[in-house]
A and B are shown apart, each in its own frame.
Chain A
Amino acid sequence: MTDYEALQSAYDIYMIKNVMGRHAYHHALGDHRAELDEIWSQRDDISWGNNMGFWVGRETMYNYYADAKEVQDEATLKLMAKANPKIEVKKENFQLGALLMHSLTTPLIQVANDGKTAQGMWYSLGQVTNAGPDGKASGQWMHERYAVDFIKEGEDWKIWHFFVGTDLGCEAGKPFTGKFGPAPGAEPDPQAEENRKAMMAIMEALPKPTIPMELYHCKYGWHNEPHFPRPYATHTAEISYGPEKYL
């Protein structure tokens, strides 16, 4: 590696960290359309993957990652307004009572030898807090692993494929049991159950994956995929964090 290549690689890694930081802050604000426009590749084969599969393509991403979020926010707000008429259903009130941050830790970033792409992995210790229709708020721990392909467009690094594998989700302040729903022996709470069903209905209305598949779980510990980024020459389908690896 020449001195120039060494310095370029260090600079690229710093810039890639910044791109991911921008993602985290956009995501915390629910500002997903701006995120897609500003820090994602202009290519048509961008993708989002998670435990359930891949959402592929630019229009799909606008529908799933940007617009569906607003639909979800509006539906949630309507439920809250139903329980509390003082709440006005308008765009400015979307995400009322929401607070989320998927922090970025443990960066492992490899820039391809050809300098055109990069692969990164982060571990996110995150929290997702929402107010529910009953006016109560609840916070959830959300621990996830990110694996991301980046591509250089002009002078800028852009997100190409984004994979999120969720390892742990549980209510803050409560023990993790690996199971959802009320704790064994808990008193039945019809209102909580109704709210849960309403929220599930909203989630189920989100666009389904373009390629549904069980990509990730941690029921047997650390999942084999996605692989750790390792030094590489050039991007190939075999090492992609996008769907091409599975097609």
Chain B
Amino acid sequence: MDKFNGLSLEAHRIASIPQIENLMALHSYYHAANMNSNELTDIWSKEQPDEVSWQQNFGFWKSMPHMSLYYGEGHWDTGLALREQIIEARPELKDDLMQPDMDVRRLVEMPVHTLTTSIVEIAEDGMSAKGLWYTPGYALRRNYLQDTASACWMWEKYGADFVWENGEWKFLHIQIGMDIMADYGQSWAEPKPMGAPGGPPPAGGPGGPPPEEAKPAKKEAPVGKDGKKLKVAPSMGGGMACPPDGPGKYSVYSRTRIPTEYPKIPEPYTTLSETFSY
């Protein structure tokens, strides 16, 4: 393990801030491309597989095996099944969809969580860091079977712990607090449930099952142009591949919700064991 002291420690702490910003951006871009499994392999802690965790409105997953099941896996299977359905319903797309560089994971949806409003605190010992971001994001979803598209806003807070491992920063914990989920053209103050008429469509794929407070009103099998129902891909529509290890601690906006400090605002600190954890 690297140890820093004196001016080297200060240089390391200064240089670490843009490195942490880059790491967080890489998370966003991997996620937008549905490369969640690549993300877990490339930028999450390898030395603390039992300690890593992921928390969002509707649950808490601890350890890399659980995170992998919940967040990392399933996009390939979903994408392959979806591609099969699309080709069946719309054979004119077959040439495009069978191109060698077609990454079927991306057919599921395009969740873009942009990063703004950052606070990054590097521990005094230079071995960990904390960050908080606001993410005005959106998800673009296409129903290839019916040749339609939709987009919904997803505005969230990200709080994350990072650790310095073998000369690189890695994720250790992340907390995600979703404030807003509303279809474009709809007010977030009066959101409609996902899947309900006028509401955002159901979340697709294992990037996250629908939050408890916004579950689809009724799950319908996709319908092809000929009106026939088609089979549903394995994890489309929010099949939960791994039950949470604990409850979530945040909810989307409602008229009865009071603003809370979640995730917590980072403060200067000495070492990770002496402060709060995300």
Contacts and interface: CB of A to CB of B under 8 A. Distances in A.
A9 to B, nearest CB: 6
B151 A108 contact: no
Interface in B83-134: 96-97, 101-103, 105-110, 112, 114-116
Nearest to B12: A6
Nearest to A123: B114
A7 B29 contact: no
B106 A220 contact: yes
A219 interface: yes
Interface stretch (A34-42, A82-90, A171-179): A171-179
Contacts of A4: 11
A178 B150 CA distance: 7
A47 B254 CA distance: 47
Give the interface residue-count category, chain B: 35 or more
Say what secondary structure dominates the interface of chain A. Answer: mixed
Interface string B20-46: 011001101110111000000000000
A3 B15 CA distance: 9
Given A9-B18, A13-B18, A178-B149, A125 B114 contact: yes
A168 interface: yes
A1 to B, nearest CB: 8
A181 B33 CA distance: 28
A110 B102 CA distance: 27
B184 interface: yes
A106 B108 CA distance: 22
B110 A177 contact: no
A141 B34 CA distance: 23
Interface string A12-27: 0110000000000000
B28 A123 contact: yes
Contacts of A175: 150-151, 183-186
Contact of B115 (A14, A105, A109, A224): A105
Nearest to A14: B18
Contacts of B96: 220
B136 interface: yes
Contacts of B150: 175-178
Given A141-B184, A143-B112, A178-B148, A221 B106 contact: yes
Interface in A135-160: 141, 143
B87 to A, nearest CB: 13
A197 to B, nearest CB: 25
B258 interface: no
A222 B148 contact: no
B33 A222 contact: yes
A141 B136 CA distance: 13
Interface string A97-124: 0000000011111100000000001010
B151 A3 contact: no
Nearest to B24: A106
A143 B138 contact: yes
B14 interface: yes
Given A108-B25, A121-B29, A174-B184, 4 more contacts: A7-B14, A7-B15, A10-B18, A177-B149
5 contacts: A175-B185, A176-B140, A176-B151, A177-B150, A178-B149
Interface of B: 7-8, 11-12, 14-15, 17-18, 21-22, 25-26, 28-30, 32-34, 96-97, 101-103, 105-110, 112, 114-116, 136, 138, 140, 142, 148-151, 183-186
- 10 closest A-B pairs by beta carbon, nearest first, are A221-B106, A178-B149, A6-B15, A108-B25, A176-B151, A3-B11, A175-B185, A105-B114, A222-B33, A13-B18
